[in-house]
Chain A
Amino acid sequence: MPYDYRHVRDAYDTLKDAGIVSESLPDWSAKMNAQTGSDDYAAGLHDDWIKQASVGVDRLLEMTGLPQLGGAIGSGVGELVGNAEAGERIGADCRGWLLA
């Protein structure tokens, strides 16, 4: 199953920060797809400032610990109705209400 943009971006940034890759995200994603013979890295083929900003906001929020806290609470609430995974995802999605 293809990775989402955030996953591809995180992997790319980690490698780039370590000095392992120097090409752009789209080029690296295309290379990874070719190497793995899949389209797992397709989300990285189209990169722009909107996606970069969006990931930047998410990373800033994660630094505060709020998504992790919301996810833990959500997981607990989700368990009550037998869907801890959905509860964790909804609870962790604090971006919408923080900016509302």
Chain B
Amino acid sequence: MIPLAIPGLQPLAPLTMAASAGTEAYTESDSPAAGLIAAGTAGLMPAAGNIARQAALKGLGAELVGGGIKDIAIKGGAGATVDEALAKLGQGAATTAVKEYVPTTFGQAAGAWGAEQLGAAAVGEAGNLGSALYSGQDYHFSPTEQLLNLTLGQAPFAGASVFRHGLAGFGGEAARRHIEETRTNIDLTGKALDQKRALEEASEKTGVENVPNAAYLSPEELLANNTRINELRARQRAATDEGTSYSEEERQKMLAEEEELVKKQGYAPGTSWGRISIRPRHEGW
């Protein structure tokens, strides 16, 4: 209850629970394996309870919110407009995939609550069994003890479940409002994410100011340069095919001349303006 009662510490609850159960089992049994098993199962209890809760709600015909690939919501709410949602994303707000069955009747709420406690208790008991087996301690299964575990032992966790789900966990008007709010959050988050992606794509595109300055040569100069480039390349190809007929110094001079000519020719935008492909202008001539 302590992590649940302190704002911001709620996500730590499974960890503190696992640490508590693990150290307690280790201290009692002197078995590290028993401690690890107890810690693992205690840490899994909230998740197991939630899985059992969702399965029960599905079986009881509760309303499904989300579940699609694009059903993502900003944690803590998206605000009232796309701009607010976008601002929250800009501030680094976390998003989460939404798939949740919400009870809209008291019967569904009661069934879900019972299933959650049973699911968590079952995992806890499996942990007790595992710890006892690994530490060599005796394991006794007593129906009355299990009944007490499920009622007395689970009572604080059941209370925590009510606290966590709030009024929406009881069905009725609060649950319907929760469904509407979640769907609005998903809608706004989807639109904000689309807008954010579009803005990011736009910023990735090379602005005109980033296009290298090209030397504006006359058509005759361009043609002459291109002819010279082709000559130089033909000589290099011939040297490669037929063997070198000039010195290394000459080869370096030719490469330098070719590079200089290519620079003079400048660069031209490609056909796709969205993602500008830069290619030397002489290519394709």
| List of B residues within 8 angstroms of A91 by Cβ | 152
Partner of B160, one of A5, A51, A87, A97: A97
Chain A residues near B214: list those with CB within 8 A. Answer: none
Produce 1/0 per residue, A64-100, CB < 8 A to B.
Answer: 0000000001100110011100110011011111111
Cα(A86)–Cα(B153), bound, Å: 11
Closest B-chain residue to A95, C-beta based?
B20
Assembled-state Cα–Cα distance A94/B26 (Å):
17
How many residues on B have C-beta within 8 angstroms of the other chain's C-beta atoms? 32
Cross-interface CB contact of A4 among B1, B23, B28, B46, cutoff 8 Å = B28
Q: In the assembly, what is the distance between CA of A56 and CA of B171, in Å?
A: 42
Instruction: Give the complex CA separation of A82 and B14 in angstroms.
Output: 33
Whether A53 contacts B23 in the complex (CB less than 8 A), given A97-B157, A99-B16, comes out as yes
Q: Chain A residues near B145 (CB, 8 Å)?
A: 83, 86, 90
What is the bound-complex CA distance between A83 and B149, given in angstroms? Answer: 12
Contact partners of B28 in chain A: CB under 8 A: 4-6
Residue with the greatest number of chain B CB neighbours at <10 A, chosen from A46, A74, A86? A86
Question: Interface code B2-36, partner A: CB below 8 Å = 1, 0 otherwise?
Answer: 11100000000110110111011011101000010
* A57 x B20 contact (CB < 8 A): yes
In the complex, the answer to whether B17 meets A90 with C-beta atoms within 8 Å is no
Q: Are A98 and B2 in contact (CB under 8 A)?
A: yes
How many Å from the CB of A80 to the closest CB on chain B? 9
| A77 to B152 CA separation, bound complex (whole angstroms) | 8
Q: Are A6 and B142 in contact (CB-based, < 8 A)?
A: no
Residues of A within 8 A of B46 (CB): 100
Known: A54-B24, A97-B1. A78 touches B148 (CB 8 A): yes
9 closest cross-chain pairs (CB), A and B: A97-B156, A54-B23, A100-B17, A54-B27, A99-B16, A99-B20, A83-B144, A86-B145, A51-B27
A-B contact pairs, 12 of them (CB 8 A): A5-B30, A57-B23, A78-B148, A87-B148, A90-B145, A90-B152, A90-B153, A95-B24, A96-B24, A96-B42, A97-B160, A100-B3
Which B residues fall within an 8 A CB radius of A? 1-4, 13-14, 16-17, 19-21, 23-24, 26-28, 30, 35, 42, 46, 142, 144-145, 147-149, 151-153, 156-157, 160
Binding site for B on A (CB under 8 A): 4-6, 43, 46, 50-51, 53-55, 57, 73-74, 77-78, 81-83, 86-87, 90-91, 93-100
